[in-house]
Chain A
Amino acid sequence: ETGVTQTPRHLVMGMTNKKSLKCEQHLGHNAMYWYKQSAKKPLELMFVYSLEERVENNSVPSRFSPECPNSSHLFLHLHTLQPEDSALYLCASSGGTGDYNEQFFGPGTRLTVL
Chain B
Amino acid sequence: GQNIDQPTEMTATEGAIVQINCTYQTSGFNGLFWYQQHAGEAPTFLSYNVLDGLEEKGRFSSFLSRSKGYSYLLLKELQMKDSASYLCAVSDSNYQLIWGAGTKLIIKP
Contact = CB atoms under 8 A, between A and B. Distances in A.
A78 B81 CA distance: 35
Contacts of B91: 101
Contacts of B44: 105
Contacts of B87: 43
Interface in A13-70: 40-43, 45, 48, 56
B101 A42 contact: yes
Given A40-B8, A99-B30, A45 B41 contact: no
B94 to A, nearest CB: 8
Contacts, number: 45
Is chain A's binding surface mostly helix, strand, loop or mixed? loop
Contacts of B13: none
A97 interface: yes
A41 B70 CA distance: 20
Interface range on chain B: under 10, 10 to 19, 20 to 34, or 35 or more?
Answer: 20 to 34
Interface string B1-17: 00010001000000000
Interface in A59-114: 90, 97-108
Interface in B13-50: 30-31, 33, 41-45, 48, 50
B48 A107 contact: no
Nearest to B3: A42
Given A45-B97, A100-B48, A102-B33, 20 more contacts: A4-B42, A40-B8, A42-B4, A42-B98, A43-B43, A43-B97, A45-B96, A48-B96, A56-B96, A99-B30, A99-B95, A100-B31, A100-B50, A101-B91, A101-B97, A102-B45, A102-B48, A103-B97, A105-B43, A107-B41
